[in-house]
Amino acid sequence: MSSLTPKKIGNMRYQIDADSSKGMKVPVTIFADEKLLAKMMTDRTIQQALNVSTLPGIQQHAIVLPDGHEGYGFPVGGVAAMDAEEGMISPGGVGYDINCGVRLIRTNLTEDDVRPKLKDLVNDLFKSIPSGVGSKGAIRLNHSELDEVLVRGVNWTIDHGYGTSDDADVCEESGQIANADPNKVSDRARKRGLPQLGSLGSGNHFVEVQKVAEIHDEEAAKAMGIEKDSVTILIHCGSRGFGHQICSDYLRISEQVQKKYNIHLPDRELACVPNKSEEGESYRAAMFAALNFAWSNRQMITHWTRKSFERIFKQSESDLDMRLVYDVAHNIAKVEKHKIDGKLKSVVVHRKGATRAFPANMDDVPAKYRALGQPVLVPGSMGTGSWILLGQENSMNMTFGSTAHGAGRMMSRSKARRNFTESEVKKSLSDKGIFLKSLTRDGVVEETPQAYKDVDAVVNVSHELGIATKVAKLVPIGVIKG
Protein backbone atom coordinates (compact mmCIF):
# COMPACT_ATOMS: atom_id res chain seq x y z
CA MET A 1 0.00 0.00 0.00
CA SER A 2 1.52 3.32 -1.04
CA SER A 3 1.87 5.93 1.70
CA LEU A 4 -0.42 8.07 -0.47
CA THR A 5 -3.21 5.49 -0.42
CA PRO A 6 -5.85 6.63 2.06
CA LYS A 7 -7.46 4.01 4.32
CA LYS A 8 -11.21 4.00 4.90
CA ILE A 9 -12.06 5.09 8.46
CA GLY A 10 -15.85 5.46 8.13
CA ASN A 11 -18.67 6.19 5.74
CA MET A 12 -17.22 8.52 3.05
CA ARG A 13 -14.19 9.21 5.28
CA TYR A 14 -10.61 8.30 4.44
CA GLN A 15 -7.34 9.03 6.20
CA ILE A 16 -3.59 9.07 5.72
CA ASP A 17 -1.94 8.74 9.12
CA ALA A 18 0.61 11.33 10.21
CA ASP A 19 4.10 10.09 9.27
CA SER A 20 6.82 12.15 10.92
CA SER A 21 9.44 10.76 8.52
CA LYS A 22 7.60 12.73 5.82
CA GLY A 23 7.41 15.80 8.05
CA MET A 24 3.65 15.34 8.62
CA LYS A 25 2.47 16.94 11.85
CA VAL A 26 -1.16 15.78 11.54
CA PRO A 27 -3.08 13.19 9.50
CA VAL A 28 -4.87 13.98 6.24
CA THR A 29 -8.64 13.40 6.20
CA ILE A 30 -10.52 13.05 2.92
CA PHE A 31 -14.31 13.28 2.72
CA ALA A 32 -15.42 11.60 -0.51
CA ASP A 33 -17.18 8.63 -2.07
CA GLU A 34 -15.12 5.99 -3.88
CA LYS A 35 -15.51 7.56 -7.30
CA LEU A 36 -14.56 11.06 -6.14
CA LEU A 37 -11.56 9.64 -4.25
CA ALA A 38 -10.43 7.69 -7.33
CA LYS A 39 -10.39 10.94 -9.32
CA MET A 40 -8.31 12.68 -6.61
CA MET A 41 -5.75 9.88 -6.90
CA THR A 42 -5.12 10.74 -10.57
CA ASP A 43 -3.54 14.15 -9.87
CA ARG A 44 -1.55 15.78 -7.03
CA THR A 45 -4.57 16.44 -4.75
CA ILE A 46 -3.57 13.95 -2.05
CA GLN A 47 0.16 14.78 -2.26
CA GLN A 48 -0.68 18.47 -1.87
CA ALA A 49 -2.81 17.74 1.21
CA LEU A 50 0.06 15.70 2.64
CA ASN A 51 2.35 18.71 2.06
CA VAL A 52 -0.14 20.96 3.88
CA SER A 53 0.02 18.60 6.89
CA THR A 54 3.70 19.57 7.34
CA LEU A 55 3.04 23.28 7.91
CA PRO A 56 4.16 24.67 11.28
CA GLY A 57 1.27 25.09 13.73
CA ILE A 58 -1.30 23.04 11.78
CA GLN A 59 -4.07 21.68 14.03
CA GLN A 60 -5.90 18.33 14.12
CA HIS A 61 -5.78 17.38 10.41
CA ALA A 62 -5.40 18.63 6.83
CA ILE A 63 -8.79 18.28 5.12
CA VAL A 64 -9.76 17.46 1.53
CA LEU A 65 -13.44 18.03 0.71
CA PRO A 66 -15.34 16.00 -1.93
CA ASP A 67 -14.72 18.58 -4.69
CA GLY A 68 -10.95 18.38 -4.05
CA HIS A 69 -8.57 18.68 -6.99
CA GLU A 70 -5.03 19.85 -7.65
CA GLY A 71 -4.43 23.54 -6.97
CA TYR A 72 -1.59 25.95 -6.24
CA GLY A 73 0.16 24.78 -3.05
CA PHE A 74 -3.01 23.69 -1.25
CA PRO A 75 -5.43 21.47 -3.14
CA VAL A 76 -8.63 23.25 -4.20
CA GLY A 77 -11.25 21.96 -1.78
CA GLY A 78 -8.66 22.06 1.00
CA VAL A 79 -9.13 23.27 4.58
CA ALA A 80 -6.46 23.73 7.23
CA ALA A 81 -6.51 25.44 10.62
CA MET A 82 -3.29 26.92 12.04
CA ASP A 83 -2.62 27.90 15.63
CA ALA A 84 -3.29 31.68 15.65
CA GLU A 85 -0.30 32.29 17.97
CA GLU A 86 2.30 29.83 16.74
CA GLY A 87 1.03 28.90 13.28
CA MET A 88 1.27 30.17 9.74
CA ILE A 89 -0.83 32.12 7.28
CA SER A 90 -0.35 31.12 3.64
CA PRO A 91 -1.35 33.10 0.52
CA GLY A 92 -1.42 29.80 -1.42
CA GLY A 93 -3.81 28.45 1.21
CA VAL A 94 -6.27 31.17 0.24
CA GLY A 95 -5.61 31.21 -3.48
CA TYR A 96 -5.35 33.77 -6.27
CA ASP A 97 -9.02 34.65 -6.56
CA ILE A 98 -9.48 35.92 -3.01
CA ASN A 99 -13.16 35.75 -1.99
CA CYS A 100 -14.26 34.14 -5.18
CA GLY A 101 -17.81 33.54 -3.98
CA VAL A 102 -21.43 32.98 -4.82
CA ARG A 103 -24.62 34.88 -4.15
CA LEU A 104 -28.20 33.88 -4.79
CA ILE A 105 -31.11 36.22 -5.61
CA ARG A 106 -34.71 34.98 -5.44
CA THR A 107 -37.63 36.33 -7.51
CA ASN A 108 -41.39 35.77 -7.52
CA LEU A 109 -41.27 34.82 -11.23
CA THR A 110 -41.84 31.25 -12.43
CA GLU A 111 -40.20 29.46 -15.33
CA ASP A 112 -43.40 30.01 -17.34
CA ASP A 113 -43.04 33.79 -16.82
CA VAL A 114 -39.39 33.79 -17.91
CA ARG A 115 -39.20 31.30 -20.81
CA PRO A 116 -40.86 33.54 -23.45
CA LYS A 117 -38.41 36.36 -22.62
CA LEU A 118 -35.37 34.24 -21.79
CA LYS A 119 -33.23 35.20 -24.79
CA ASP A 120 -33.99 38.91 -24.34
CA LEU A 121 -33.18 38.61 -20.64
CA VAL A 122 -29.86 36.79 -21.15
CA ASN A 123 -28.85 39.23 -23.91
CA ASP A 124 -29.71 42.19 -21.67
CA LEU A 125 -27.73 40.73 -18.75
CA PHE A 126 -24.81 40.08 -21.09
CA LYS A 127 -24.91 43.67 -22.32
CA SER A 128 -25.20 45.28 -18.88
CA ILE A 129 -22.69 43.16 -16.89
CA PRO A 130 -19.11 43.57 -18.15
CA SER A 131 -17.43 40.19 -18.54
CA GLY A 132 -14.29 38.55 -19.92
CA VAL A 133 -10.54 38.69 -19.30
CA GLY A 134 -9.46 42.19 -18.30
CA SER A 135 -13.04 43.42 -18.57
CA LYS A 136 -13.65 46.88 -17.16
CA GLY A 137 -16.43 47.62 -14.69
CA ALA A 138 -19.21 50.00 -15.57
CA ILE A 139 -18.06 52.65 -13.09
CA ARG A 140 -14.84 54.61 -12.86
CA LEU A 141 -13.31 54.92 -9.41
CA ASN A 142 -10.56 57.33 -8.39
CA HIS A 143 -7.90 56.24 -5.88
CA SER A 144 -9.62 57.55 -2.78
CA GLU A 145 -12.93 55.91 -3.81
CA LEU A 146 -11.12 52.59 -4.29
CA ASP A 147 -9.66 52.94 -0.78
CA GLU A 148 -13.18 53.45 0.57
CA VAL A 149 -14.41 50.31 -1.21
CA LEU A 150 -11.48 48.34 0.23
CA VAL A 151 -12.33 49.41 3.78
CA ARG A 152 -16.12 49.62 3.66
CA GLY A 153 -17.00 46.77 1.28
CA VAL A 154 -20.69 46.38 0.47
CA ASN A 155 -21.56 49.47 2.55
CA TRP A 156 -19.81 51.70 0.01
CA THR A 157 -21.90 50.26 -2.84
CA ILE A 158 -25.12 50.59 -0.81
CA ASP A 159 -24.35 54.24 -0.01
CA HIS A 160 -23.90 54.83 -3.74
CA GLY A 161 -27.30 53.39 -4.65
CA TYR A 162 -26.31 49.85 -5.67
CA GLY A 163 -28.44 48.02 -3.08
CA THR A 164 -29.92 48.24 0.41
CA SER A 165 -28.91 47.30 3.94
CA ASP A 166 -31.05 44.15 3.52
CA ASP A 167 -28.37 42.96 1.07
CA ALA A 168 -25.57 43.49 3.60
CA ASP A 169 -27.51 41.62 6.30
CA VAL A 170 -27.27 38.35 4.37
CA CYS A 171 -23.59 38.48 3.37
CA GLU A 172 -20.85 36.63 5.21
CA GLU A 173 -19.26 39.26 7.52
CA SER A 174 -22.16 41.55 6.46
CA GLY A 175 -20.10 42.22 3.33
CA GLN A 176 -17.46 44.20 5.22
CA ILE A 177 -14.65 42.54 7.13
CA ALA A 178 -12.89 44.77 9.68
CA ASN A 179 -9.15 45.61 9.65
CA ALA A 180 -8.66 45.75 5.89
CA ASP A 181 -5.80 48.16 5.12
CA PRO A 182 -5.42 49.68 1.63
CA ASN A 183 -1.87 50.75 2.58
CA LYS A 184 -0.82 47.08 2.50
CA VAL A 185 -1.90 46.81 -1.15
CA SER A 186 0.65 47.40 -3.93
CA ASP A 187 0.24 50.11 -6.57
CA ARG A 188 0.14 47.35 -9.17
CA ALA A 189 -2.83 45.65 -7.46
CA ARG A 190 -4.61 49.01 -7.22
CA LYS A 191 -4.02 49.69 -10.88
CA ARG A 192 -5.56 46.32 -11.77
CA GLY A 193 -8.50 46.82 -9.40
CA LEU A 194 -9.39 50.41 -10.25
CA PRO A 195 -11.22 49.74 -13.52
CA GLN A 196 -12.66 46.31 -12.63
CA LEU A 197 -15.26 46.90 -9.92
CA GLY A 198 -18.62 45.54 -11.09
CA SER A 199 -17.31 43.07 -13.68
CA LEU A 200 -17.67 39.32 -13.98
CA GLY A 201 -14.30 38.31 -15.38
CA SER A 202 -13.63 35.02 -17.13
CA GLY A 203 -12.97 31.35 -16.34
CA ASN A 204 -15.64 29.60 -14.30
CA HIS A 205 -17.39 32.84 -13.32
CA PHE A 206 -20.97 33.25 -14.43
CA VAL A 207 -24.40 34.72 -13.91
CA GLU A 208 -27.08 32.04 -14.17
CA VAL A 209 -30.84 32.34 -14.41
CA GLN A 210 -32.15 29.17 -12.77
CA LYS A 211 -35.35 27.46 -11.76
CA VAL A 212 -35.91 25.69 -8.47
CA ALA A 213 -36.18 22.03 -9.53
CA GLU A 214 -36.28 20.20 -6.19
CA ILE A 215 -36.98 21.11 -2.57
CA HIS A 216 -35.53 18.82 0.11
CA ASP A 217 -36.04 20.94 3.26
CA GLU A 218 -39.36 22.81 3.23
CA GLU A 219 -38.71 24.80 6.42
CA ALA A 220 -35.29 26.08 5.34
CA ALA A 221 -36.50 26.81 1.78
CA LYS A 222 -39.40 28.83 3.14
CA ALA A 223 -37.09 30.88 5.39
CA MET A 224 -34.93 31.63 2.33
CA GLY A 225 -37.92 32.55 0.13
CA ILE A 226 -37.30 29.59 -2.18
CA GLU A 227 -40.29 27.89 -3.86
CA LYS A 228 -40.46 25.06 -6.40
CA ASP A 229 -40.48 26.24 -10.05
CA SER A 230 -39.63 29.82 -9.06
CA VAL A 231 -36.74 31.58 -10.81
CA THR A 232 -33.50 32.49 -9.03
CA ILE A 233 -30.23 34.08 -10.13
CA LEU A 234 -26.81 32.79 -9.08
CA ILE A 235 -23.78 35.10 -9.37
CA HIS A 236 -20.31 33.55 -9.15
CA CYS A 237 -17.25 35.81 -9.23
CA GLY A 238 -14.47 37.19 -7.06
CA SER A 239 -11.88 39.93 -6.62
CA ARG A 240 -10.68 39.90 -10.23
CA GLY A 241 -7.12 41.06 -11.07
CA PHE A 242 -7.01 42.94 -7.77
CA GLY A 243 -7.06 39.81 -5.58
CA HIS A 244 -4.81 37.94 -8.02
CA GLN A 245 -2.13 40.61 -7.73
CA ILE A 246 -2.33 40.66 -3.91
CA CYS A 247 -1.79 36.90 -3.86
CA SER A 248 1.18 37.20 -6.26
CA ASP A 249 2.73 40.05 -4.24
CA TYR A 250 2.50 38.24 -0.92
CA LEU A 251 3.60 34.86 -2.28
CA ARG A 252 6.79 36.59 -3.41
CA ILE A 253 7.23 38.29 -0.01
CA SER A 254 6.57 34.97 1.79
CA GLU A 255 9.14 33.15 -0.35
CA GLN A 256 11.74 35.81 0.42
CA VAL A 257 11.40 35.49 4.22
CA GLN A 258 11.39 31.67 4.60
CA LYS A 259 15.02 31.73 5.82
CA LYS A 260 14.36 34.59 8.25
CA TYR A 261 11.71 32.49 10.02
CA ASN A 262 13.56 29.18 9.56
CA ILE A 263 10.63 27.68 7.59
CA HIS A 264 11.36 24.55 5.49
CA LEU A 265 8.65 23.48 3.05
CA PRO A 266 8.20 20.42 0.80
CA ASP A 267 6.75 22.66 -1.95
CA ARG A 268 7.64 26.31 -2.57
CA GLU A 269 4.00 26.98 -3.56
CA LEU A 270 3.14 26.57 0.14
CA ALA A 271 5.12 29.73 0.97
CA CYS A 272 3.82 31.02 4.29
CA VAL A 273 4.74 33.34 7.13
CA PRO A 274 3.99 33.29 10.86
CA ASN A 275 0.45 34.56 11.42
CA LYS A 276 1.68 37.01 14.07
CA SER A 277 4.64 38.32 12.03
CA GLU A 278 4.75 41.72 10.35
CA GLU A 279 4.45 40.02 6.94
CA GLY A 280 1.54 37.88 8.19
CA GLU A 281 -0.36 40.91 9.50
CA SER A 282 0.28 42.79 6.24
CA TYR A 283 -0.96 39.92 4.08
CA ARG A 284 -4.10 39.58 6.17
CA ALA A 285 -4.86 43.32 5.93
CA ALA A 286 -4.38 43.22 2.12
CA MET A 287 -6.36 39.98 1.76
CA PHE A 288 -9.20 41.54 3.77
CA ALA A 289 -9.17 44.50 1.36
CA ALA A 290 -9.64 41.99 -1.48
CA LEU A 291 -12.52 40.34 0.43
CA ASN A 292 -14.26 43.72 0.64
CA PHE A 293 -13.55 44.40 -3.05
CA ALA A 294 -15.14 41.06 -4.04
CA TRP A 295 -18.29 41.59 -1.95
CA SER A 296 -18.67 45.04 -3.54
CA ASN A 297 -18.09 43.54 -6.97
CA ARG A 298 -20.88 40.98 -6.52
CA GLN A 299 -23.15 43.69 -5.09
CA MET A 300 -22.77 45.84 -8.21
CA ILE A 301 -23.43 42.86 -10.47
CA THR A 302 -26.56 42.23 -8.35
CA HIS A 303 -27.67 45.81 -9.01
CA TRP A 304 -27.28 45.47 -12.80
CA THR A 305 -29.02 42.07 -12.69
CA ARG A 306 -32.01 43.65 -10.96
CA LYS A 307 -32.06 46.46 -13.53
CA SER A 308 -32.07 43.92 -16.40
CA PHE A 309 -35.06 42.13 -14.87
CA GLU A 310 -36.86 45.47 -14.41
CA ARG A 311 -36.31 46.34 -18.09
CA ILE A 312 -37.35 42.98 -19.50
CA PHE A 313 -40.35 42.35 -17.23
CA LYS A 314 -41.37 46.03 -16.94
CA GLN A 315 -41.78 45.70 -13.17
CA SER A 316 -39.76 47.17 -10.31
CA GLU A 317 -37.26 45.09 -8.37
CA SER A 318 -39.58 45.26 -5.32
CA ASP A 319 -42.56 44.07 -7.43
CA LEU A 320 -40.35 41.18 -8.57
CA ASP A 321 -39.26 40.68 -4.92
CA MET A 322 -35.60 40.30 -5.95
CA ARG A 323 -34.18 39.74 -2.50
CA LEU A 324 -30.67 38.51 -1.83
CA VAL A 325 -30.87 35.08 -0.17
CA TYR A 326 -27.21 34.83 0.87
CA ASP A 327 -23.64 35.58 -0.25
CA VAL A 328 -20.93 33.10 0.69
CA ALA A 329 -17.15 33.43 0.27
CA HIS A 330 -14.61 30.86 -0.89
CA ASN A 331 -10.83 31.40 -0.82
CA ILE A 332 -10.46 33.06 2.52
CA ALA A 333 -8.47 32.82 5.78
CA LYS A 334 -9.96 34.03 9.05
CA VAL A 335 -9.24 33.69 12.74
CA GLU A 336 -12.06 31.66 14.31
CA LYS A 337 -12.52 29.73 17.54
CA HIS A 338 -12.77 25.96 17.18
CA LYS A 339 -12.61 23.03 19.59
CA ILE A 340 -9.20 21.36 19.47
CA ASP A 341 -8.70 18.44 21.89
CA GLY A 342 -11.83 19.50 23.76
CA LYS A 343 -10.73 23.13 24.27
CA LEU A 344 -11.80 26.25 22.34
CA LYS A 345 -8.81 27.67 20.54
CA SER A 346 -8.16 30.58 18.16
CA VAL A 347 -7.05 29.24 14.79
CA VAL A 348 -6.49 30.68 11.32
CA VAL A 349 -8.89 28.66 9.14
CA HIS A 350 -7.75 28.56 5.50
CA ARG A 351 -10.61 27.69 3.14
CA LYS A 352 -9.20 27.18 -0.33
CA GLY A 353 -12.05 26.39 -2.71
CA ALA A 354 -14.13 25.70 0.39
CA THR A 355 -17.07 27.50 1.91
CA ARG A 356 -18.21 28.12 5.47
CA ALA A 357 -21.05 25.88 6.70
CA PHE A 358 -21.84 27.09 10.24
CA PRO A 359 -24.73 25.48 12.15
CA ALA A 360 -27.63 27.20 13.91
CA ASN A 361 -27.19 29.48 16.93
CA MET A 362 -23.76 30.83 15.98
CA ASP A 363 -23.24 34.58 16.17
CA ASP A 364 -21.56 34.57 12.74
CA VAL A 365 -24.77 33.40 11.06
CA PRO A 366 -27.00 36.35 10.00
CA ALA A 367 -29.88 37.05 12.41
CA LYS A 368 -32.38 36.03 9.72
CA TYR A 369 -31.03 32.47 9.63
CA ARG A 370 -29.50 32.07 13.10
CA ALA A 371 -32.17 29.68 14.43
CA LEU A 372 -31.83 27.58 11.27
CA GLY A 373 -28.15 27.53 10.28
CA GLN A 374 -26.12 29.23 7.57
CA PRO A 375 -27.20 28.91 3.93
CA VAL A 376 -24.50 27.31 1.79
CA LEU A 377 -24.42 27.79 -1.99
CA VAL A 378 -22.71 25.14 -4.13
CA PRO A 379 -22.60 26.01 -7.84
CA GLY A 380 -22.33 23.21 -10.37
CA SER A 381 -21.30 23.49 -13.99
CA MET A 382 -23.44 25.43 -16.44
CA GLY A 383 -25.32 22.41 -17.78
CA THR A 384 -26.10 20.55 -14.59
CA GLY A 385 -27.34 22.28 -11.46
CA SER A 386 -26.45 24.04 -8.23
CA TRP A 387 -27.46 23.42 -4.65
CA ILE A 388 -28.57 25.33 -1.61
CA LEU A 389 -27.49 23.56 1.57
CA LEU A 390 -27.78 24.34 5.26
CA GLY A 391 -24.78 24.30 7.61
CA GLN A 392 -24.97 21.64 10.34
CA GLU A 393 -23.31 20.81 13.66
CA ASN A 394 -21.09 18.08 12.17
CA SER A 395 -19.20 20.70 10.17
CA MET A 396 -17.78 22.03 13.45
CA ASN A 397 -16.61 18.56 14.54
CA MET A 398 -15.31 17.40 11.17
CA THR A 399 -14.23 20.27 8.92
CA PHE A 400 -13.71 23.44 10.98
CA GLY A 401 -17.17 24.59 9.91
CA SER A 402 -16.59 24.10 6.16
CA THR A 403 -17.96 22.26 3.15
CA ALA A 404 -17.36 21.95 -0.60
CA HIS A 405 -17.57 25.09 -2.74
CA GLY A 406 -18.61 23.63 -6.09
CA ALA A 407 -18.40 20.62 -8.35
CA GLY A 408 -14.62 20.76 -8.75
CA ARG A 409 -12.84 20.31 -12.08
CA MET A 410 -12.51 16.86 -13.61
CA MET A 411 -10.59 17.95 -16.69
CA SER A 412 -8.03 20.69 -17.30
CA ARG A 413 -9.02 23.69 -19.40
CA SER A 414 -6.55 22.71 -22.13
CA LYS A 415 -7.94 19.15 -22.28
CA ALA A 416 -11.49 20.53 -22.54
CA ARG A 417 -10.36 22.73 -25.46
CA ARG A 418 -8.90 19.67 -27.22
CA ASN A 419 -11.96 17.47 -26.65
CA PHE A 420 -14.94 19.73 -27.28
CA THR A 421 -16.13 22.33 -29.77
CA GLU A 422 -18.16 25.44 -29.05
CA SER A 423 -21.06 24.28 -31.25
CA GLU A 424 -21.20 20.86 -29.51
CA VAL A 425 -21.37 22.46 -26.06
CA LYS A 426 -23.96 25.04 -27.10
CA LYS A 427 -26.10 22.36 -28.78
CA SER A 428 -26.02 20.05 -25.74
CA LEU A 429 -27.07 22.98 -23.52
CA SER A 430 -29.75 24.08 -25.96
CA ASP A 431 -31.14 20.51 -26.00
CA LYS A 432 -31.60 20.87 -22.23
CA GLY A 433 -33.42 24.18 -22.69
CA ILE A 434 -30.43 26.31 -21.57
CA PHE A 435 -29.62 29.51 -23.46
CA LEU A 436 -25.94 30.49 -23.22
CA LYS A 437 -24.26 33.78 -24.06
CA SER A 438 -20.47 33.93 -23.83
CA LEU A 439 -17.82 36.40 -24.92
CA THR A 440 -15.36 33.81 -26.24
CA ARG A 441 -15.28 30.32 -27.71
CA ASP A 442 -12.82 29.20 -24.99
CA GLY A 443 -15.17 30.51 -22.30
CA VAL A 444 -17.76 28.01 -23.55
CA VAL A 445 -15.52 25.01 -24.23
CA GLU A 446 -13.37 25.21 -21.07
CA GLU A 447 -16.48 25.22 -18.91
CA THR A 448 -18.32 22.37 -20.62
CA PRO A 449 -20.28 20.36 -18.03
CA GLN A 450 -18.13 17.30 -18.83
CA ALA A 451 -15.06 19.16 -17.45
CA TYR A 452 -16.56 19.02 -13.95
CA LYS A 453 -17.31 16.40 -11.32
CA ASP A 454 -20.91 15.46 -10.61
CA VAL A 455 -22.11 18.22 -8.28
CA ASP A 456 -24.88 15.93 -6.96
CA ALA A 457 -22.24 13.41 -5.81
CA VAL A 458 -20.19 16.17 -4.13
CA VAL A 459 -23.26 17.52 -2.33
CA ASN A 460 -24.35 14.02 -1.36
CA VAL A 461 -21.13 13.48 0.62
CA SER A 462 -21.75 16.68 2.59
CA HIS A 463 -25.40 15.72 3.15
CA GLU A 464 -24.74 12.12 4.22
CA LEU A 465 -22.06 13.21 6.70
CA GLY A 466 -24.34 15.92 8.14
CA ILE A 467 -21.79 18.68 7.38
CA ALA A 468 -24.28 20.71 5.32
CA THR A 469 -27.62 19.22 4.26
CA LYS A 470 -29.74 19.59 1.12
CA VAL A 471 -32.31 22.39 0.93
CA ALA A 472 -32.99 22.80 -2.81
CA LYS A 473 -31.58 21.99 -6.23
CA LEU A 474 -31.48 24.73 -8.88
CA VAL A 475 -31.08 24.05 -12.60
CA PRO A 476 -29.93 26.62 -15.17
CA ILE A 477 -32.15 27.95 -17.95
CA GLY A 478 -29.96 30.90 -19.00
CA VAL A 479 -26.21 31.49 -18.56
CA ILE A 480 -23.82 34.35 -19.21
CA LYS A 481 -20.07 33.73 -19.12
CA GLY A 482 -16.99 35.82 -19.70
Highest mean pLDDT among 128-142, 227-241, 444-458: 227-241
CA angle 165, 169, 171 (to 5 degrees): 115
| pLDDT of res. 2 | 58
Segment 411-428 mean pLDDT: 86
Q: What's the rounded Cα separation, in Å, for the pair 69 and 62?
A: 14
Q: What's the rounded Cα separation, in Å, for the pair 30 and 14?
A: 5
Q: What's the rounded Cα separation, in Å, for the pair 58 and 261?
A: 16
Cα of first residue to Cα of last residue in the chain, in angstroms, is 44
267, pLDDT greater than 80: yes
167, pLDDT greater than 90: yes
| pLDDT of res. 441 | 77
Segment 18-38 mean pLDDT: 97
478, pLDDT greater than 70: yes
Give tens-digit pLDDT for 278-290.
999 999 999 999 9
451, pLDDT greater than 90: no
286 neighbors 273 (Cβ within 8 angstroms): no
Our answer to whether residue 405 is catalytic in this structure is yes
1, pLDDT greater than 60: no
Q: Which domains does the chain have, with CATH numbers?
A: 101-334+356-481 (3.90.1860.10)
Annotation: binding site for Mn(2+): 97, 205, 236, 330
The string over 187-212, giving b where at least 16 C-beta atoms fall within 10 Å of a residue's C-beta and e elsewhere, is eebbebbbbbbbbbbbbbbbbbbbbb
Under the banding of pLDDT at 50, 70 and 90, the label for residue 440 is confident
Cα 456 to chain centroid distance, Å, stands at: 17
Q: Closest Cα to residue 379, out of 422, 328, 427, 322?
A: 328
Q: What's the rounded Cα separation, in Å, for the pair 59 and 61?
A: 6
- Alpha-helical regions (H) of 1-70: 34-40, 45-52
Burial environment of residue 16 by CB neighbours within 10 A (0 to 12, 13 to 18, 19 or more): buried
Burial environment of residue 116 by CB neighbours within 10 A (0 to 12, 13 to 18, 19 or more): exposed
Lowest-confidence region among 120-134, 181-195, 371-385: 120-134
| pLDDT of res. 132 | 64
302, pLDDT greater than 90: yes
Annotation: binding site for GMP: 204-208, 330-331, 379-382, 386, 405-408, 481
Query: Which one is catalytic: 244, 350, 405, 463?
Result: 405
Mean pLDDT of the chain: 94
Q: When comparing pLDDT for 129 and 392, which is higher?
A: 392
Q: Where are the beta strands (DSSP E) in 84-227?
A: 88-89, 101-110, 206-215
Under the banding of pLDDT at 50, 70 and 90, the label for residue 140 is confident
197, pLDDT greater than 50: yes
295 neighbors 317 (Cβ within 8 angstroms): no
